[in-house]
Structures are given as C-alpha cells and as structure tokens.
Amino acid sequence: MSIRHGLLALLERGPSHGYHLRAEFDAATGATWPLNVGQVYSTLDRLERDGLVAQDGPPDADGRIAYRITDVGQAELRGWFASPVSAKGAPRDELAIKLALAVTTPGVDVLRVVQTQRTATMTGLQELTRLKARADDGPGDLAWSLVLDSLVFRSEAEIRWLDHCEARVARAAARRPATPTATATATATATASATAPGAPAPAADAAPGGGRR
Amino acid sequence: MSAPVLQLAGVTRDHRQGEATVQALRGVDLTVSPGELVAVMGPSGSGKSTLLHLAGGLDTPTAGRVVVEGRDLAELSAAQVAAVRRRSVGYVFQDLNLLPSLSAVENVALPLELDGVRGGMARRAAREALEEVGVGALAGRFPDEMSGGQQQRVAIARALVGPRRLLLADEPTGALDSTTGEEVLRVLRARCEAGAAGVLVTHEARHAAWADRVVFLRDGVVVDQSGPAAVAESLLPAGGAG
C-alpha cells in the first residue's frame, strides 16, 4: 500500500484538491494512518509527473489546484486492486527483532519481555474492541469497521505469536541443562517445576508446550 | 464504588498427583465488581479453569478465601454453598448443557424451579431473560431447532435468570464461528454493564478484549493484567513467575 494508491482511489470518486484529499483519506482509514498535507501535495506532484493524475482546470480563487485521475492512473489503480499485498520486503518488525535479540542476550528475562508486550498489545486490542463495538452500534460505517477489524486481527495474531514464543522459550529452557549461564528463562521454568517436587524435568516441558485449550 | 461480587484473596489450590503436589493456583488475588467483565487468559495448565471452579464454589481452595457477594464460602455449610451456587452464580460452558427435551423457556426456568420458585413465576422470569439476550421469540423452540449462537444465548439467559449476579463463563465461544462468538460476547458484556459481574476464561485474545480487564495466569500465578484497572489494583508479584 502506498499513499499513491490511496490518493488514486480517492480521485476515482471525482476531482479533488490536496487539502480535501487529506481529509477524505483520514475519513476512509479512520485516521489510523494520519497524513500531513505536505505528504499529500508531494505525492500529487509525483503522480502528475508520472501521468497518473492531471490538473483539473486552473487554480480556484484560493489558489488551490484540483486534480483528476487519468486513464493511466485508472489502469494503475485497477492493477493495484487486482494484485495481492506482498508480505515480502525487508524484515523490519521491531518486535520480532527485539525477541530474537532477547533470547541471545545474557541476563534478559525473555518471558518478561513477552509478557510486557502481550499486556500492551492486549490493552490496545481492548481499545480497538471498544471502538468497534461503538462503530457497529452506529449508523454503519462499513469501511471504518473493516479497518478496525484488520487491526483487531493483527493484534490477535501478534498475541498468538507471543503465546507461541513463550511456549517455545519455556520448552527450550527445560531441555537445556541448568548451568549458571542459562539465565532468566531457566529461572522461570525452574520456579514452575519447583511446585511439583519430584516431578521429572520433562513434566515442566509438557505443561507450557502442550496444545492450548 | 459498590461492594465486589467476587473476591479471591491469596487463593492457593494444590492437586495431588501421585506422590507429588501440583499447585494449580498460588496466592491469587482477584476482585470483580458489579458492572465489570474480567477475562482470564493463560496457557493450558495455567490454572484458568481451577480459578473458575473455585470462584463458583465447585471446588475448595487449599488456602486463601473465596468471597461471593460478601459471603466467605469457607464459613458456609455445604448446603449453604449449594444455595450460593444456585442463587448467586451462573455458569456458561463451552458445552452448553441445555436439556434437549425442554424448550428454551423451560431450560431457562429450570434453575429457578429447582430453587423452589413457582412454575408461572419462573417462566415469566425466564421469558424476560430470553428477551434480554435477544432470543425472546424462540422461547418455545427446542435446542435442536436453534443455531449454535441461539443456543448459547439461551445458555446465558439460563446462567443469569433470577437474582444471580456472578457470571462465570468457560470458553463460551469455543464452538461458535467468529461472528456468532462476537454476538455472544456482546450479550455477556451487556449483562455486565447492566450490573452483573463476569469472569470469562478464554484463550482467544480477540474475545478477551471484550473484557474491562484481562488477567494473565501462568503456572498458577497472576503474572500481569491489562486494562484500565491494571495500575489501581496491583496483583503483580515481583519478577513475574518468581
């Protein structure tokens, strides 16, 4: 997704000028992706340079220039809607990188890192759910509700992934022989198994690693 | 602020497994007030269901106190605990437990009738409860004549019919598709907003997010909680799992 395609989609509804496009973009995405007017104008400049939009008549009394989508722009827009969003690209997920570093950095309580993130993501998910409940009770802004759904599902996926990380970390710690260098994760698991005196080490492994209900 | 409907204070529950003792819950504190829905999340074996059973008087803690509507369950006789279970606590399970030979209204009226409420009155209350969860029109239908979501609404109506103010739900959306599950959560939420106190055990983050607070259990310990009350009511043992 780029701002380019967002603006082309808005111009497909009819000619408009930058300031108005920004407001429409906000309304369409529920302000989940705030743009500043500067970004809108610079994107319009590039779209015009590439022949995807054209100026729609002379500037109005306030000096504002309206743009319209061109045939080339419409073809580009149709192509965008027709193609899937690529999941490729540089891995820039800060959380994934943070956890990868956490498991390899001595002295980091990985389970605590996981839980801190899970609580924060859950708090965000609770806020989204409240917004969604309100949106669904309202007159029915389907576009906004679908944007919220997307954020809800993304948060849910992140929490699920964190659950998975927690189970993996606990299992790995249980398998590893306890050494002074096996730090925080081993401590947490040791605490868990300490509640079952005499239980063999694999029992501690089985609990967090078992399937979820 | 009104008095809490449910209080767990320092609750520990040990289970014997052969020679070993496994602590299903360790020193758990939890307070749920009227109007509040609290979700409990955690991996398998973290103590979620034990917590729910203790809260509903279906199990007894090894240590600590369980107080329902101001009554410490440990100080009551078995018959009195049973009365608390009937009059104060409503359960919703994943397995709906609706009786197939009874209509929706008969299913909902049953717990009242078992508690000695006369037939006509019980049915009137049952109809109101069904109306409240949006299935009033289905009062005469039998469980196999309803969809999964409709049956779950009937189960919620049954859980909350009469004066009961504590709603305990164990994976109530388990068997439902995501849209229907969401409807059930809306009903739960609405019941809590109308004054009930709810505890919802779930492994679905999306469903837990309907709660005011989400409590995370791990190895029988509350390791964290999210939501507006997270700061006000610190249940966090230092060092998480330690």
> Which of B17, B221, B222, B226 to mutate against chain A (most A CBs within 10 Å)?
B226
Helix (H/G/I), strand (E/B), else coil: B200: strand
For A51-87, what is each residue's pLDDT tens digit? 999 999 998 888 889 999 999 999 998 888 877 766 5
For residue A12, the distance in angstroms to the closest alpha carbon of chain B comes to 32
For residue A212, the distance in angstroms to the closest alpha carbon of chain B comes to 5
Work out the percent of chain A whose per-residue pLDDT is above 70: 74
Judge whether residue B178 has pLDDT over 80. Answer: no
Q: Which residues pair with B215 in a beta bridge?
A: B40, B225
User: Residue B219 sits in a domain of what CATH number?
Assistant: 3.40.50.300
Distances in Å between the Cα of A184 and the Cα atoms of A169, B43, B45, B223 are: 10, 19, 21, 15
Pairing, β B71-72 against β B63-68: antiparallel
User: Which of B133, B136, B128 has its CA nearest to residue B152?
Assistant: B133
Element (H, E) at A89: none
Kindly give, in sequence order, each residue whose CB lies less than 8 Å from that of residue B30, ignoring residues fewer than 6 positions away.
B6, B7, B8, B11, B38, B51, B55, B215, B222, B235
Given an 8 Å threshold on Cβ–Cβ distance, is B20 in contact with A167? no
Among A119, A156, A166, beta carbon nearest to B226: A119
Judge whether residue B186 has pLDDT over 60. Answer: yes
The highest-confidence range among A6-10, A62-66, A143-147, B136-140, by mean pLDDT, is B136-140
Given an 8 Å threshold on Cβ–Cβ distance, is B21 in contact with A126? no
Sheet of A53-55, strand order:
A16-17, A66-69, A53-55
What mean pLDDT is predicted for residues A156-172? 90
Would you call B105 exposed, middle or buried from its count of C-beta atoms within 10 A (0-12, 13-18, 19+)? buried
Q: Where does A18-106 have alpha helices with state H?
A: 18-28, 37-49, 71-82, 94-104
How many Cβ atoms sit within 10 Å of the Cβ of residue B21? 15
Q: Which residues pair with A69 in a beta bridge?
A: A53
Decide if B216 is inside a domain: yes
pLDDT band with cut points at 50, 70 and 90 for residue B169:
very high
Question: Range with the lowest mean pLDDT among A13-22, A137-146, A166-175, B230-239?
Answer: B230-239
Decide if B122 is inside a domain: no
Provide the domain limits for residue B220. Answer: 6-96+162-230
Q: How far apart are CA B217 and CA B200, in angstroms?
A: 13
Are the beta carbons of B84 and B76 closer than 8 angstroms? yes
Would you call B195 exposed, middle or buried from its count of C-beta atoms within 10 A (0-12, 13-18, 19+)? exposed
How many Cβ atoms sit within 10 Å of the Cβ of residue A78? 12
What mean pLDDT is predicted for residues B232-237? 34
Residues of B in contact with A120 (CB under 8 A): 226
Higher pLDDT, B58 or A205: B58
Main-chain phi, psi angles of B12, to 5 degrees: -125, 140
Which one-letter DSSP state was computed for residue A58? S
For A110-157, what is each residue's pLDDT tens digit? 888 888 889 989 999 999 998 888 877 766 678 888 888 888 998 999
Higher pLDDT, B47 or A95: B47
Decide if B221 is inside a domain: yes
User: Which of A82, A113, A79 has its CA nearest to residue A96?
Assistant: A113
Decide if B206 is inside a domain: yes
Chain A interface residues (partner B, CB cutoff 8 A): 109, 111-112, 115-116, 118-123, 125-126, 128-129, 133, 152-153, 155-156, 159-160, 163, 166-167, 187-188, 191-192, 195-199, 207-208, 210-213
ipTM of the complex: 0.75
Decide if B15 is inside a domain: yes
Question: How many domains does chain B divide into?
Answer: 1
Decide if B197 is inside a domain: yes
Q: Tokens at residue B11, please? A: 């609750």
Decide if B109 is inside a domain: no
Instruction: Using CA coordinates, name the residue in chain B closest to A185.
Output: B241
